[in-house]
Amino acid sequence: MTEYEAVIGLETHIQLNTKTKIFCSCKADSWADEPNTNICPVCCGLPGVLPVLNKAVVEKAVVLANAMHSEIQPLSYFDRKNYFYPDLPKGYQISQFDQSLGKGGYLDLPIPAANSFDKKAYIRRVSIWKLHIEEDAGKTKNAGNRRFIDFNRCGVPLVEMVTGPDLRTADEAAQYLIRLRQLLRWLGISEADMEKAHLRCDANVSIRVKGETVLNPKTEIKNVNSIEAVRDAIATEIDRQVREVEAGHRIEAWTLEWDEDTGSLKKMRSKETEADYRYFREPDLLPIRMTEEWKAKILAGFPELPLQRRARFVEQYGLPEYDADILTGERRLSDYYEEAVKDYGGDPKKVSNWLMNDVLRMINEQGLNPSEMKLTPQALASLLKLVDGGTINISTGKSLLQKVQDTGRTPEAIVSEEGLGKVSDDSAIRTVCEEVLTESPNEVASYKAGKVTLIGWFVGQVMKKMRGKADAAMARSILEELLK
Amino acid sequence: MDLCDLSALELSRLLGEKKTSAVEILESSLRRIGEVDGRPGSLNAGEITPNDRSRVHAMITLTEDLALEQAREVDRKLAAGEKVGPLAGVPFTVKDIFCVKDTPSTAGSRILANFVAPYTATPVERMVAAGALMIGKVNLDEFTYGSSTESSAFQPSTRNPWDTSRVPGGSSGGSTASVAAYEVPLSLGTDTAGSIRQPAAFCGVVGVKPTYGRVSRYGLIAFASSLDCPGPVSRTVTDAASMLQVIAGPDSHDATAATTPVSDYLSNLEMGVRGMRIGLSPDYFRITFPDGQGGFKEQELPAEIEKAVRHAADVLASMGAEIVEDVPMPNTRYGIPAYFVISRVEAASNLHRYDGVKYGLRTTQNYTDLKSMYKLTRNEGFGLQPKLRILMGMYVSAAQYSEQYYKRALRVRTLIRRDFEAAFDPAGNYRLDALLTPTTPTTAFEMDAVYGDSVLMQYADQLTVPANHAGVPGISLPGGLDSAQLPIGIQLLGADYSEDKLFRVARAYEMATESEDWRKVKPKVLR
Amino acid sequence: MSEQISVEIFDHLVDLAALELNAKQADYLRRQLNNQLASVRELEAVPLDEDIPISLHGVPYEVENSSAPREDEWIPCLDSKAILAQAPQVEDQYIVVPDIPHTTLK
Ligand SMILES: [Zn+2]
């Protein structure tokens, strides 16, 4: 049987999280607004209006271009993309065509073993073909045989980023989006919420016989608004293309729409009649002049990127990849981790364990922001030191996490006020041990008859009486001594 | 002598001396409009009557209530001893291509006939802030597409006050006619290929096309965005300078409005031309146009027009200017063909937004789907001139032709620009302060004479369009009358942002010719 | 002189432009277009050196005369109702247009 491989390229539209729209002073986010209330003459394309570029859009796009290893152009231009559609008030979209802000670029995608064919992790380099700034259109919704238009979204800033046909599986495509989403949030330039269309994805899919290098006719899948849907839609389309080719049919350059409810693809319109957008330079805007000075200012303090940090965590802290991946999933969490490690000074893996097992659960369950928690990295570090120093035992330590978070007080203060310190005074423990043995003659008899495993039970009784504060090791040795 | 016969400067003086009031000035203007303007342009005008043929018809929408409110405010301030703006109490008209809040803003087109703008254009806002009284919106070629004002959907279209059987020129024909008929001393027009200067020449008034970007385009309903320039129309050079002083300068709503500081146009206005270098170019004394057989014909300008320009040169020379002959401007002849391409590409795109969705006309015919709604609406709403520009623009910007036409035209524009750069280069061979040329190849032509022949109509702009391509400023001045007693326009062109110099030369010429006989002749509608 | 814009090309342009013309208009406009193109043909004869750049605007925009990009500051527009009031058909604050038919296949 012939073996096929898929050739996938993704076109993503990324909504930048600026305060205002790209060419007017309306606010960019109108998620909660009534239709057609966040509008002005400019974004509604009234006769006579002119666009004025928002500086923050350029700056955020430059940050993204830098992260994608894209060459930032000293001079880039806006162009008009002309077409009629009721959600496009001017009848053209202001975009960048042939001389856009970013040129080229790539993203190195680590594919985990679990998502790999042969169960071996690998790196897929995804090239970036286009990276440009443009304005969003409005929203339309069907209402019977009419369409309702809302212009609130008109003019929201987007970066369109198009990859080369470098992805080979639906899983890789999903991984690309996961990593892109992570990166956008990491850089703080987009909320990257696919459900809210902050991050949109169209997929170009074709197949070829494995080993060949030709590019066959592709289909374009639109309207996929979750990472799972992208994966499912691509997988479905690859299967369909394989079936068609096996049946001797040609693949036609269709535009397909993913119907999430039925999990099926629908044909939208034939690509053969693709419109001529008659691109030409936007005469109402001046080119973006990206001086070295401005660029340096934007990129000052450019952060270490998640994949770099992930590698460094493995290298520097000796963390397993799994830990490093989770701890670098989100920038504030990873900053938190590093600060705690620094403050703690002990085994970084131990910090990772506490963070991943307990603190992360608190963060997720309570919707906390790692950079604003009362349980600061410093507090976590001192808590760990209390455990290490034997002042408290592990279970006390774990229950302290929530207390620190709730009160904002230091672990030391809580321990001393609530008397949670471990009792390591020999005589105090000895007294309780003697009590326990006196109260349990049957168990003592069994022990002496050879059932030495009961020692754990005795220790437990001692701990119970001392409300967990006793040094368990010390209690055990006293008990063993008394039972001799 | 009525108040409306005075210049803005004179009106300001009278107001300052408390010899009149803004309301009186306004009333005088409205009276003049009542006497000479006839019925305003409208969509369903019916027959054009003989009475119509004797009137000016500059107006589309009279905004007398608004003007009265503004006039009362000026008078209140004056009475209270408060500071008023530099154009306080001066009436002006606005070409109906500018949006004015709560006012019909039609572009002379059926498709915008019912559009009431929810915002005000920057130049209009600045005029009003300076105390000027907006008295009405005046007629124009539909979307400014023309050189005669005849293509307006609002009929009767404007007629030339010097001879109402002739066109006022265009597209700012309503602006120049309203000023020439002494309805108002000032009007705000736009110039994309000569649309201020050509009708100013035809109507015997002063028309200024400032440097591109000198005046904000915000609120100007776009024709060709890389060429459009708002500018003043007036009867005197001083009034034009005062008006430009008010409307010029950067604008946070227009990224192409230059941040170059605005010169003081008034302080040195009467300093004369001694030592200035004024050029004449043979390339502006002839025109080249298609002969209809696929070739091109070169033709000398009418002798009367060339004579007027040479006379102006003599006058300036007698005042101490140095006249530089034979300045080569070899790319002048490519202005029109390059314009046919660039302006159409931009216009077609700018007209995309008129689709019956957001504002303006939506067809009342039955439509089956969105596309048929678009088509019916645009077909009903646009006249022939917009349709022609849309189709041409679509053709020459199509992906397969763009290189051949659009990109090439933009490179030819560079050549045209270089002609001017060479002429004005302070270290070059010519070192001109201004180039003196005729404004138009003819004086005002008969109504209906050229209308319909889009190519011939466009060639009326041959001497004005190069300045739009190059972005440089230009002024058209009254330069005498021809044998038919029609005004001849002379043009001064200068380097980027050199409006102050052009005003100075123009004012020197105006002063020197003050006593010439033709200056005493008034337009026929006022005789 | 051959006509550059045939009836077929013309009809295609008319459709792209979302226009619909009667026969008389179509005839006039096509003739005018061809006349204009004859004039435009003059451009083809202009000698243009390779190094002649395009000019987007006649006046060059350098750092000195170019405005800086806008700061990212929200200025609420108070006239959204006036804007909406211009629309030919509005329902529930939405602008209403007829449907856009599209083929759903399979
Ligand atoms: Zn807006």
Active site residue: B21, B95, B209, B501, which one?
B95
ipTM of the complex: 0.96
- pLDDT for B355 equals 97
Q: Does the distance separating the beta carbons of B360 and C58 come in below 8 Å?
A: no
Q: Write down the residue that tokens 């109702």 correspond to.
A: C81
Distance CA B479, CA B312 (A): 7
Distance CA B308, CA B497 (A): 26
- pLDDT for B174 equals 98
Choose one of A297, A331, A347: the last residue of a domain.
Answer: A297
| Residue A119's pLDDT band (cuts 50, 70, 90) | confident
- pLDDT for A424 equals 66
Structure tokens at B289: 């146009």
Return the residue in B106, B350, B391 with the most chain A beta carbons within 10 A, the one to mutate for interface testing.
B350
Distance CA A462, CA A465 (A): 5
Q: Residue C26 is part of which domain span?
A: 1-48
CA distance to partner chain B, nearest, from residue C93 (Å): 12
Residue of chain C nearest B417, judged by CA positions: C58
Q: Does the distance separating the beta carbons of A47 and B107 come in below 8 Å?
A: yes
What is the arithmetic mean of pLDDT over B24-39? Answer: 98
Active site residue: B171, B242, B343, B498, which one?
B171
Q: Does the distance separating the beta carbons of A47 and B221 come in below 8 Å?
A: yes
- Cα dihedral B10, B439, B148, A280 in deg (nearest 10): -110
Q: Residue A431 is part of which domain span?
A: 426-483
Q: Which residues pair with A146 in a beta bridge?
A: A143, C98
Residue of chain B nearest A80, judged by CA positions: B349
Judge whether residue A157 has pLDDT over 80: yes
A149 CB neighbours in chain B (<8 A) are 357
CA distance to partner chain B, nearest, from residue C4 (Å): 11
Residue C84 touches chain A, beta carbons under 8 Å: yes
How far, in Å, is the centroid of ligand 1 from the Cα of A143? 25
- pLDDT for A274 equals 52
Choose one of A249, A279, A297: the last residue of a domain.
Answer: A297
Q: Does the distance separating the beta carbons of B252 and A47 come in below 8 Å?
A: no
Distance CA A96, CA A279 (A): 9
Question: Which tens digit of pLDDT belongs to each residue from C45-69?
Answer: 898 998 999 999 999 999 999 999 9
Residue B94 touches chain A, beta carbons under 8 Å: no
| Residue B459's pLDDT band (cuts 50, 70, 90) | confident
Task: Tally DSSP H helices, then E strands, for chain A.
Answer: 16, 17
Question: CA A325, A330, A331: angle at the middle one, nearest 5?
Answer: 110
Same domain for A389 and A281 = no
Judge whether residue A432 has pLDDT over 50: yes
* Residue A387 and residue A394 in contact, taking contact as beta carbons nearer than 8 Å: yes
How far, in Å, is the centroid of ligand 1 from the Cα of B364? 30
Helix (H) or strand (E) holding A314: helix A306-317
What secondary structure letter does DSSP report for A454?
A: G
* Residue B433 and residue B277 in contact, taking contact as beta carbons nearer than 8 Å: yes
- The closest of B171, B256, B359, B213 to A39, measured between CA atoms, is B359
In a domain, C12, yes or no: yes
Judge whether residue A270 has pLDDT over 60: no
Say whether B195 is catalytic: yes
In a domain, C89, yes or no: no
Residue B387 touches chain C, beta carbons under 8 Å: yes
Same domain for A432 and A339 = no
Distance CA A145, CA B368 (A): 10
In a domain, C82, yes or no: no
Same domain for A321 and A288 = no
Q: What is the secondary structure of C51-65 as a DSSP string?
A: T----SSSS---TTT
Same domain for A175 and A54 = yes
Residue of chain A nearest B111, judged by CA positions: A47
Tell whether omega for the bond before B156 is within 30 degrees of 0, i.e. cis. Answer: yes
Distance CA B257, CA B235 (A): 26
Cβ-based neighbours of A323, under 8 Å, separated by 6 or more: A313, A349, A352, A356
Q: Does the distance separating the beta carbons of C66 and A289 come in below 8 Å?
A: yes
Structure tokens at B436: 């003196």
Return the residue in A36, A278, A288 with the most chain B beta carbons within 10 A, the one to mutate for interface testing.
A278
* Residue B239 and residue B8 in contact, taking contact as beta carbons nearer than 8 Å: yes
Judge whether residue C103 has pLDDT over 70: no
CATH of domain B3-266: 3.90.1300.10
Distance CA B64, CA B69 (A): 8
Question: Which tens digit of pLDDT belongs to each residue from B409-444?
Answer: 999 999 999 999 999 999 999 999 999 999 999 999
Distance CA B92, CA B26 (A): 10
Q: How many CA atoms lie within 13 A of B475 on its CB side?
A: 33
- pLDDT for A269 equals 60
- The closest of A434, A437, A461 to A447, measured between CA atoms, is A437
Structure tokens at A265: 């693809």
List Cα–Cα distances, B402 to A60, A218, B399, in angstroms.
33, 27, 5
| Domain total of chain C | 1
Helix (H/G/I), strand (E/B), else coil: A108: strand
Question: What is the residue extent of each domain of chain B?
Answer: 3-266
Q: Which residues pair with A134 in a beta bridge?
A: A158
C37 CB neighbours in chain B (<8 A) are 392, 395
What secondary structure letter does DSSP report for B474?
A: E
Same domain for A26 and A171 = yes
What is the arithmetic mean of pLDDT over B279-294? Answer: 88
The shortest CB-CB distance from C105 to any of A36, A267, A288 is to A267
Question: Which tens digit of pLDDT belongs to each residue from A79-93?
Answer: 999 999 999 999 999
| Residue B452's pLDDT band (cuts 50, 70, 90) | confident
| Domain total of chain A | 3
| Residue C102's pLDDT band (cuts 50, 70, 90) | low
Say whether B307 is catalytic: no
- pLDDT for B124 equals 98
* Residue A335 and residue A96 in contact, taking contact as beta carbons nearer than 8 Å: no
Cβ neighbour number for residue C62 with a 10 Å cutoff: 10
Helix (H/G/I), strand (E/B), else coil: B443: coil
Same domain for A269 and A180 = yes
Distance CA B100, CA B122 (A): 9
Same domain for A39 and A16 = yes
- The closest of B275, B277, B284 to B432, measured between CA atoms, is B277
What secondary structure letter does DSSP report for A33?
A: S
Q: Is the pTM for the entire model greater than 0.95?
A: no
C48 CB neighbours in chain B (<8 A) are 408, 411-412, 415
Same domain for A110 and A11 = yes
- pLDDT for C79 equals 86
In a domain, C8, yes or no: yes
| Residue C2's pLDDT band (cuts 50, 70, 90) | low
- The closest of C75, B85, B198 to A52, measured between CA atoms, is C75
Higher pLDDT, A274 or B520: B520
Same domain for A386 and A251 = no
Q: Does the distance separating the beta carbons of B255 and A49 come in below 8 Å?
A: no
In a domain, C36, yes or no: yes
How far, in Å, is the centroid of ligand 1 from the Cα of C13? 32
- pLDDT for B9 equals 97
Structure tokens at B488: 């001849």
Same domain for A471 and A358 = no
B348 CB neighbours in chain C (<8 A) are 17
Q: Which of B:162-201 have CB within 8 Å of C?
A: none
What secondary structure letter does DSSP report for C5?
A: S
| Residue A428's pLDDT band (cuts 50, 70, 90) | confident
Same domain for A380 and A318 = yes
Say whether B171 is catalytic: yes
| Residue B400's pLDDT band (cuts 50, 70, 90) | confident
Helix (H) or strand (E) holding A337: helix A331-344
Least confident of A14-23, A38-47, B298-307: B298-307
Residue B370 touches chain A, beta carbons under 8 Å: yes
Residue B119 touches chain A, beta carbons under 8 Å: yes
**Size of chain A in residues:** 484
In a domain, C95, yes or no: no
* Residue B119 and residue C79 in contact, taking contact as beta carbons nearer than 8 Å: yes
- DSSP-H helix ranges across A220-302: 227-246, 292-299
Judge whether residue A271 has pLDDT over 50: no
- How many Cβ pairs closer than 8 A exist between chain A and B? 102
Distance CA B97, CA B140 (A): 8
Q: How large a percentage of chain B has pLDDT more than 70? A: 100
List Cα–Cα distances, B448 to A213, B140, B148, C28, in angstroms.
66, 16, 9, 16
Q: Does the distance separating the beta carbons of B340 and C18 come in below 8 Å?
A: no
Structure tokens at A199: 């991050």
Active site residue: B175, B195, B263, B281, which one?
B195
How far, in Å, is the centroid of ligand 1 from the Cα of A277? 24
The shortest CB-CB distance from C55 to any of B376, B388, B410 is to B410
Least confident of A412-426, B17-31, B318-332: A412-426
How far, in Å, is the centroid of ligand 1 from the Cα of A309? 39
Q: Does the distance separating the beta carbons of C17 and B391 come in below 8 Å?
A: yes
Q: What is the CATH number of the domain that holds C4?
A: 1.10.20
Same domain for A163 and A145 = yes
Structure tokens at A426: 């020999």
What is the arithmetic mean of pLDDT over A285-300? Answer: 97
